[in-house]
Structure 1
Amino acid sequence: MSRDTSTRRGRATLGRVTARLPVFPLGTVLFPGLVLPLHIFEERYRALVRHLVGLPEGAPREFGVVAIQAGWEVALGAGRAGGDVTLHEVGCTAELRQVTELADGGFDIVTVGRRRFRIAEVDEGTAPYLTAEVEWLPEPAATDEVADLLAARVISVFRQYLSLVRPDPQEISEQLPEDPTVLSHLVAATAALTVADRQRLLAIDDTAARLRAELRLLNRETALLRHVRAVPVPLNELAGPPAPN
């Protein structure tokens, strides 16, 4: 198991607030405030759920979700995350909200993203599942005028984007949050972006900077969607079922 090579494993955390967290590698990026349902079938993560459920009342039931940077096919084929899998450096904690135990011993759980963190060091041997020493990343306590102005622009462009990808975007548009930080997380999680794009957005500490980056991405995606819609579809592509991915 390795991390993003942009930082050194086990680097000093002087002056930072740190904690040790269980870590769940996934092929997706979780953002604060967003819901993430999971089906838990692997024994090591069944043990993690049992550990969280067994914590005293009032104790935080959360674990770290970290996107896999490389080696996902290896992990998927083996039914586990380990070995040659490389994790991104920045992740988000998932707070356990609902647990359904299944007849085969697995679990269906519902989690909500809570806090961003940066991995300082991964530990593969202390617990049945991965754990990591993490640094909590700052979240803005209040937004400024620049973030408010950018949020209004992002909402406008995001509505245009939704009109191209959703049959009825009005319902979603009306529910867009006004808080710039919450909006930035929602847009990052909802737009059809690559894991790499989402990971870069998650790693940005400043709300205004994240909104600026989202404006660039949304403008890019909107332009691509409009171009694709303007290109006629060849008849041979309509003749049969779509090819598998």
Structure 2
Amino acid sequence: MTNLDSTTRKIPLFPLGTVLFPDGVIALKIFEARYLDMIKTCLREKTEFGVVSIMKDQDSKEDSPLVFSQIGTLALIEDFDPIQPALYMTKSSGTQRFKLLHSQQEANGLWIGEIELLANDPVTPIPEEHQKVVKLLNEIISVIQSEDLLEESPFKKPFKTDDCGWVSNRLAELLPISLAQKNHLLAQTNPRIRLDLVTEIIEDDGLSNLMLH
């Protein structure tokens, strides 16, 4: 990553049709030359890349310019398996959110973003009214553990089920909601309010039986 000043920097971007939350896990199959080079650089320099959502309007034309979410998450590569010279299987974890100030595409097709890092969630205890969704999340984790799915799990240890930020992020990842809604949750700086919003979605949509999808 290239430092611009104390709060902004330039990083390679990996635009996706999904949202990565801090402490979340994302598995990527890398085969395009621009991303193979990016992954090699990140591994060599022990640096992160940025995951941003591609926000496409349903009415947009195929040749219209890409529009990225304004909030993204830094991703640090944790597992790397070069299956073939031009095919890597990677697993990365979300570290810190950022605001995307500007982006431009290089000649090789790689997007570079100028970003401003956002503060990490403060540790915030779970209020009593949200214990029901914590129980729901614990049940999902139990299913993953009982079926020995941790290798494929969207979660990584430690499981911070007593913290508003961690619980809201994990549930936001699991919820079958739109990219716009997920990015709205990611952008919420107050973890207690983010958990309020997640709980509201679950209760309003009758998702109390939410499971991995």
Question: What interval of TM-score do these two structures reach, taking the shorter chain for normalisation?
Answer: 0.7 to 0.9
TM-score normalized by structure 1? 0.68
Larger Cα Rg: Structure 1 or Structure 2? 1
Q: Which residues of structure 2 form unaligned runs of 5+?
A: 147-158
Identify the match of residue 103 of structure 2 among 122, 127, 130. Answer: 122
Paired position in structure 2 for 1:5: none
1:49 partnered with 2:43: no
Paired position in structure 2 for 1:30: 20
Q: Which moved more, 1:204-213 or 1:194-203?
A: 194-203
Which residue identity lines up with residue 22 of structure 1 in the other structure? P
1:78-227 maps to which residues of 2 (within 5 A)? 84-125=65-106, 129-143=110-124, 147-156=126-135, 158=136, 171=143, 177-222=161-206
Shift of the alpha carbon at 1:223? 6.2
| Partner Cα distance (2:113, 2:96) in 1 | 15
Report the secondary structure of 2:54's partner residue: strand
| Partner Cα distance (1:221, 1:69) in 2 | 23
CA RMSD of aligned residues (A): 3.4
| Partner Cα distance (1:150, 1:200) in 2 | 22
Shift of the alpha carbon at 1:172? 5.5
> When the two structures are aligned, how many residues end up with a matched partner?
194
| Partner Cα distance (1:202, 1:27) in 2 | 15
Report the secondary structure of 1:37's partner residue: strand
Which residue identity lines up with residue 177 of structure 2 in the other structure? L
1:40 partnered with 2:22: no
1:53-72 maps to which residues of 2 (within 5 A)? 53-55=43-45, 59=46, 61-70=47-56
TM-score normalized by structure 2? 0.77
Paired position in structure 2 for 1:18: 8
Distance 1:105 1:173, change over 3 A: closer
Which residue identity lines up with residue 171 of structure 1 in the other structure? V
Which residue identity lines up with residue 212 of structure 1 in the other structure? D
Shift of the alpha carbon at 1:103? 2.0
Higher fraction of helix: 1
8 A contact 2:55–2:69 mirrored in 1: yes
Shift of the alpha carbon at 1:54? 2.0
Q: Which residues of structure 1 form unaligned runs of 5+?
A: 1-14, 227-245
Shift of the alpha carbon at 1:195? 1.6
Shift of the alpha carbon at 1:178? 1.7
Report the secondary structure of 2:199's partner residue: helix
Which residue identity lines up with residue 196 of structure 2 in the other structure? R
8 A contact 1:155–1:176 mirrored in 2: no
Distance 1:43 1:219, change over 3 A: same
Q: Deviations over 1:77-136 (max 9, x none)?
A: 9xxxx9621111101111101111132512111101111011011122387511111111
